């Protein structure tokens, strides 16, 4: 368990000149949405007692690691009820566990996993249960080019154990999912609409405008009529999305998704039994307080603060369930 006392030290892997130059360029040239991919990688790197991600430090870079480390240290010193990054850690573990369960439910059939807004995600390198799955990472061209350069640099560093691809295959697809042609680009890179597929939309929907997010979800929902399709996605509620950088939100994803082609929807809140992972030690933590209130409540009756909720949602559909309905 991380004790919060450690002083910050630059990890050895980040001392390589090529990697430092890439990160310096990213800090200069990338916008806040692109840089958010490094923040989530920093979360995985610093919650290493629960997430084993061999490239998280390299992908995150020094600046993001140091910022989060300092916040975590302050939280620990102040006996905060929640330590910074805990939501990221829970979210990662929730997606990992639902992804594994979905792959198992396919009973050994060939499967595809598509990560939309993949950012610095390294599931293809860290999850052994993806050994029979074809992975597609979709993100903006600039981001994917840099990620490839960072991963190549990591491979050259001869890490111990050596960095290897765990998935059956991994294809990076440069596409802007706000544009109409992203699905076509995905298919041109080998995605097969008739094959069982798990879609991972982690930390992406709320960066899209409302109609763009609906269009993306509708395109995925349409695939339910062709093959067993599982969607794993996180949704912000209205109160959580009220920062200028966020746009799309849904207070009731379980009502929305059936209108877009999905037949089964399960929703969890941070802190629920399947989204806890033993990481909340104080029973009075913020997430427990929110879970005790009806979801329609937007302002906390005790302290007048907005009820900011992140929903973790699994939805699915298949040609057979669609015929029954
Ligand atoms: C918060 S990061 C999440 C990354 C990753 N899914 C994770 O959880 O670590 C958001 C990612 O979405 C990507 N993104 C944002 N808008 C996009 C768009 N219109 N098309 C493709 N990718 C986009 C960004 O480049 C960034 O990598």
More confident residue, 157 or 272: 272
Identify the band that residue 4 occupies on the pLDDT scale cut at 50, 70 and 90: low
Cα(36) to ligand 1 centroid in Å equals: 8
Average pLDDT over the chain, rounded to an integer = 94
pLDDT at res. 2? 56
Task: Point out the ligand 1 atom lying closest to the alpha carbon of residue 119.
Answer: 27
What pLDDT does 127 receive? 97
Which residue, by CA, sits nearest to atom 27 of ligand 1? 119
User: Which of 7-11, 79-83, 177-181 bottoms out in mean pLDDT, i.e. has the lowest?
Assistant: 7-11
pLDDT the model gives residue 9: 87
State in Å: Cα 38 to ligand 1 middle: 10
pLDDT bin (cut points 50, 70, 90) of residue 3 is low
Nearest Cα to 286, choosing from 127, 75, 131, 108? 75
Q: What pLDDT is attached to residue 51?
A: 97
Question: What does the pLDDT look like over 263-304, one tens digit per residue?
Answer: 999 999 999 999 999 998 888 889 999 999 999 999 999 889
**What is the reported pLDDT for 1?**
53
Residue nearest to atom 4 of ligand 1 (CA): 119
Instruction: Indicate where the chain has its CATH 3.40.50.150 domain(s).
Output: 86-324
Is 3.90.550.10 the CATH number for 86-324? no
Pocket test for ligand 1, best of 207, 208, 312 (most atoms within 8 A of CB): 207
Is the shortest distance between the CB of 33 and ligand 1 below 6 Å? yes
For ligand 1, atom 14, which residue shows the shortest CA distance? 117
Name the pLDDT band for 307 (thresholds 50, 70, 90): very high
Q: Is the pLDDT of residue 188 over 60?
A: yes
* Mean pLDDT to the nearest integer, 239-255: 94
Q: Whose CA is nearest to atom 15 of ligand 1?
A: 117
Mean pLDDT, rounded, for 73-88: 94
268 Cβ below 6 A of ligand 1: no
Looking at residue 281, its pLDDT comes to 84
């Amino acid at each position: 368990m991380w004790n919060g006392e450690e002083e910050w030290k630059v990890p050895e892997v980040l001392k390589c000149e090529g990697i430092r130059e890439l990160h310096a360029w990213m800090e200069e040239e990338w916008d806040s949405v692109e840089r958010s991919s490094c923040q989530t990688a920093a979360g995985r790197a610093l919650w290493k007692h629960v997430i084993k991600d061999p490239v998280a430090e390299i992908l995150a870079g020094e600046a993001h690691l140091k910022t989060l480390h300092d916040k975590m240290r302050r939280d620990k010193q102040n006996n905060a009820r929640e330590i910074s990054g805990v939501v990221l850690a829970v979210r990662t573990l929730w997606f990992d566990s639902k992804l594994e369960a979905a792959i198992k439910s396919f009973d050994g059939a060939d499967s595809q996993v598509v990560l939309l807004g993949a950012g610095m995600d390294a599931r293809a390198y860290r999850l052994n249960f993806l050994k029979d799955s074809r992975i597609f990472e979709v993100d903006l061209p600039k981001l994917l080019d840099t990620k490839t350069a960072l991963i190549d640099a990591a491979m050259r560093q001869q890490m111990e154990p050596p960095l290897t691809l765990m998935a059956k295959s991994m294809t990076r697809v440069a596409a802007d999912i706000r544009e109409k042609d992203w699905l076509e680009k995905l298919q041109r890179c080998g995605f097969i609409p008739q094959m069982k597929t798990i879609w991972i939309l982690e930390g992406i929907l709320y960066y899209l405008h409302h109609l763009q997010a609906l269009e993306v979800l509708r395109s995925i929902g349409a695939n339910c009529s062709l093959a067993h399709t599982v969607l794993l996605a996180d949704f912000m509620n209205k109160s959580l999305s009220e920062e200028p950088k966020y746009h799309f939100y849904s207070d009731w994803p379980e009502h929305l998704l059936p209108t877009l082609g999905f037949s089964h929807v399960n929703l969890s809140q941070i802190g629920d039994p399947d989204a806890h992972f033993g990481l909340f030690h104080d029973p009075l933590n913020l997430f427990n307080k929110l879970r005790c209130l009806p979801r329609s409540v937007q302002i906390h009756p005790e302290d007048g603060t907005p009820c900011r909720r992140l929903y973790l949602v699994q939805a699915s559909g298949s040609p057979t369930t669609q015929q029954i309905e």
